[in-house]
Structure 1
Amino acid sequence: MTLIDLASDPSAVVRKAVAARADAPAQALRPLTRDQDRQVREAVARNPSTSIANLLRLVKDDDRWIRWAVASNPACDESVRRAMAQASDKELRGLLAESRELEPELAAKLTDDVSPEVRERLATHTHDLDVINTLLADRTARVRKGVARNPRTTAAQRSALAADPVVDVRAALVRSLELDEADLARLVDDRSVQVRLAMATSEVVPPHIRQQLTRDPDEMVASAARDFRPGTGNASAVRAPRIAHRPSAGAGRSGRGTTR
């Protein structure tokens, strides 16, 4: 009852403290989802004790940082993720695409997302082999480049990427993933200097392949292979899923934001 009373305190600092409490009851958090102070609403959006109904309300908030905070809340269920998939906010759909809990139906929906960035983020993080196969055929190179950084790909999928017509895709592949010997043998003679240079400086390319590259006809590639030292090359390009946090510079501002 004390927390319910404090949820209507005139001080935004107090209301924010209530909003962040894991033991705050739904009756206290519900009015805070409509609080005039954006930091209060954001605290509710991040609170793992927030109800699904309140998360569904916040995922439609006018302030983008609050919508993005919902995406990082472990309490999100399928209904919240479904609302995210239907949102007009590209970044929100991108955060959804990186979710490990993403349902196959929603992942399949995102393979047709209008934004190449959303599809790329899905390609990089999905565990669904059917989704990976679909994105392997995506017409946008940056999406296939995302697949080339995904460690959940199969040997057959990596072979398909090794034959991709776009240089950036093949270069991303050799920087990020271990390949079969047949694929390595083909790529060590790749027509693109960029691909061979990526191999020469890749942490995942085996030593005998790098040794071959020391005799590369391009001196820049050969020199990079000769000078390579473990720990100084390109590690896997897969980044952790993004967790949106509002920049501290805006911490003092309050009120309902309208930025989308």
Structure 2
Amino acid sequence: MPDRRPIALVTGASSGIGEALARRFAAGGHDLVLVARRAEPLRALADALTAAHGVRAWAVPVDLAQPDAPSVLATAMRRARRPIDVLVNCAGVVQVGRFAETPAARHRELVDLNVGALTSMLAHFVPPMLRRGHGRVLNVASIAAFQPVPTLATYAATKAFVLSLTESLAEELHGTGVTATALCPGITATPMLSGAERAHPGLRRLPRLVVGSVDDVAAEGHAACLRGDVVCVPGLLNTATVTAGRALPKWLVRRVGGALSRGLE
């Protein structure tokens, strides 16, 4: 590592898993570039991290759903001479509901942010890491990446893309000093889940046992990223679910997912 404090750029840092990951990296001695749409939560978090850990933290309000946003952000970091050592792609949106009942524009929003923006961020920030010979990437996917999820069809498909891209990228980066990790949490207690529950009250019937802690998810993701693990599935229950899903026939996985989703409608 260079003779300076490393810098982690975290998207989706204003709340949820992104905020928890930012706190983890700050506690570990990283300076932070905090990225999200909402300026005030970012500035409050930046001030809190500086006060708690003595690191520098810059709030950078950006709407990554805009096509040129990753390019503008990368240019701003170069001009500010802030080389990014860790890229955490956590910005994302979810949509719960039947595919045919969801507006086409909403499907496009999910693809643009969850897939397009993440891919563009990688394309802009990974090459400089390779030139320096060191770096870490943490892409936040989901256990939904491992199987089809009725009523989360487009969301699950975007996360499958993130997982596949991360695994391919990890192999391409082997031996370069740069690593890529996919963090695949299960259902996690975040504002995103709360919003989904308001729109679809059936989700409130989920057993609390299956709802993970955002701090636990961030702790496992942070450690996996620094180790250079390729895939991290936090929690024993989620690990067991993923393992079982891979072992069962695809038709059975689809039927089980459909039955569970209908039970929550």
Q: TM-score, normalised by structure 1?
A: 0.27
Larger radius of gyration: 1
Q: TM-score, normalised by structure 2?
A: 0.27
- Which of 1 and 2 has higher RCO (CA within 8 Å, sep 6+)? 2
